[in-house]
Amino acid sequence: MEYRLDNNTNKHHADCRFKRHIKQRISIRRQNKRVVFKTGELNLEKSSSETPFRLIPDIISKFIDARWRWSLIFCILVYILIWFLFASIWWLILYLHGDLREENLPSANNGTIWNPCIREIYSFTSIFLFSIEIHTTIGYGKRAITLECPSAMLTMCIEGIAGHFTQALIIAIVFAKLTRPKNRAQSLIFSKSAIINQRDTHLCLIFRVGNIRKSRIIASKVNAYLIQYESNSDDDIIVNNEQINLRVKVDACDDILFLNPISVVHRIDSDSPFYNMSAQDMLNSNLEIVVVFEGVIESTGQTVQAISSYTSQEIMWGRRFSQLIHFQKNKQGYVKDFSKFDEMCRVNTPLCRAKELDDYFENRKRLSSVLT
C-alpha cells in the first residue's frame, strides 16, 4: 500500500514537471516570434478582414504542393469524374434516339432492323465502358459509332480532346512533383546558430550552409537580410517593412565552389547595422536575420532555393565552428562528418561594439606610427 502511494506521488510530480516543461517551451516559442521558421516556411497569414476576390483558386499549384497521396487521389477522381460525365452524355444521346428501348437493343430478336448511334450498347455499364474507350483511345472492335447521330460524333470529338488535355494535365502534375526543386532544397542545411567572432581586426557574423547529397549545386549564391521588430503599447510585435541587405562573402571569396560545407561571413564594419551593437545589445535586440541560398541543380538545370533564419537568441557571441572535414586513411579520401555540423567551441572575442574595437586598433596603429 505504501509502495502504491509513493508510486502515485512520483507519477504526479513527474506529470507536473512535464506540464511545466511544455508550458516553458510554449512560452519560449511565443517569445521568439519569427517571420521565417528554421524549416524555411513563412510565418505569414492573410488578415481575416481581407475580402477574398479570387473566385478560381490555383488548383494546379495546390496539388503540386500537396502530399503524394492527395495528388494521386486527385488524379484518380478526375479520370473517374470525366468518365461518368461523358457516360451520362452518351446515355442521354442514346436515350433520346431510342437505342435504349428493349425492342431496339442488340439482344432483342424481333426481326426489325434498327440503326443505333453506337453498336453493341446494352446498358449504362456498356456506355461507361465505351466512355473509357473513347477517353483512353482504346478500341476493342465491337462498340463503335455509326453515321446515324451527328451529336454522337461531336461528343466523341469533345471527349477525345478532353482526354488528351486531362492526360497532359496529370502528367504535368506528376512530373512537376518529381522534379520540383523544393525536394532538393530539403538536402540543403543551415547551422542551427550563427556565431560572432573576431577575424583579423574585425568582428564577423558567420553561419554555415551544407549539402548532404553527393549531387552538386552550381552557380550558387547566398544573400542575408535583416528584419527588425518593434513593440507598440499593446505589447504587439510589429515587423518593420524595411529589410536591410547584409553584405556577405563565403570565406572571403566572391565565387562559391560548393563542394564542401561553406561558412558565410558578414563583416561587421561601418556599413553594417550591427556596427554599434555589443554582445549585450545583440542579446536584447528584437531582430531576425533571414538567409537565402540559391543555386542550380547540376543534373536537372533547375533553380533551387533554401531559406532559414536566425533570431537574436540564436546568435552566439565568441564561438567558432568545429572542423568537420578530415582525411580517412582506410578510405583514402576526405570524409564530411555532418554530426559536427553544428558543433562550436569558445574563442576569445571582445564583447564590445565593433566601432569601439575599430577605434582601439586605429589608436594602436597611430601610436605605433608615432613611436616609430
Q: Which of 353, 337, 335, 321 is nearest to 251 (CA)?
A: 321
3-state secondary structure of 184: helix
The tens digit of pLDDT for each residue in 245-304 reads: 999 988 755 556 677 888 999 999 999 999 999 999 988 888 899 999 988 888 777 788
Same domain, 66 and 115: yes
**Residues whose CB is less than 8 angstroms from the CB of residue 110 and which lie 6 or more positions away in sequence, other chains included:** 103
Does 228 lie in the same domain as 100? no
Least confident of 40-44, 168-172, 225-229, 289-293: 40-44
Domain extent at residue 208: 183-371
Q: What sign for the dihedral angle of Cα 48, 54, 56, 58?
A: negative
CATH value at residue 220:
2.60.40.1400
Question: What pLDDT does residue 11 have?
Answer: 43
Domain count, the chain: 2
Is the CB of residue 133 less than 8 Å from the CB of residue 140?
Answer: yes
Q: Clarify whether residues 287 and 195 are in a common domain.
A: yes
Whether 20 is in a domain gets the answer no
Confidence (pLDDT) at 85? 94
Pairing of strands 194-199, 315-317: parallel
Q: Are residues 294 and 155 in the same domain?
A: no
**Which residues in 170-199 are b (16+ Cβ under 10 Å) and which e?**
beebeeebeeebeebbeebbbbebbbbbbe
Model pTM above 0.75:
no
Question: CA-CA distance, 290 to 243, in Å (whole number)?
Answer: 10
Q: What is the mean pLDDT of residues 52-66?
A: 64
Per-residue model confidence (pLDDT) at position 7: 40
Specify if 3 maps to a domain: no
Residue 250 lies in a domain: yes
pLDDT band with cut points at 50, 70 and 90 for residue 27? very low
Same domain? 86 vs 167: yes
Q: Do 252 and 144 belong together in one domain?
A: no
Whether residues 109 and 142 share a domain: the answer is: yes
Domain end (from 139, 160, 179): 179
Q: At residue 58, does pLDDT exceed 70? A: no
Helix (H) or strand (E) holding 258: none
- Residues 202 and 348 reside in one and the same domain: yes
- In what helix (H) or strand (E) does residue 134 lie, and over which residues does it extend? helix 124-135
CATH of the domain at 155: 1.10.287.70
194 near 259, Cβ under 8 Å? no
Same domain, 161 and 241: no
Q: Select, from the ranges 230-234, 258-262, 275-279, 362-366, the one with the highest average predicted confidence (pLDDT).
A: 275-279
18 occurs within a structural domain: no
State how beta strands 287-297 and 262-267 pair: unpaired
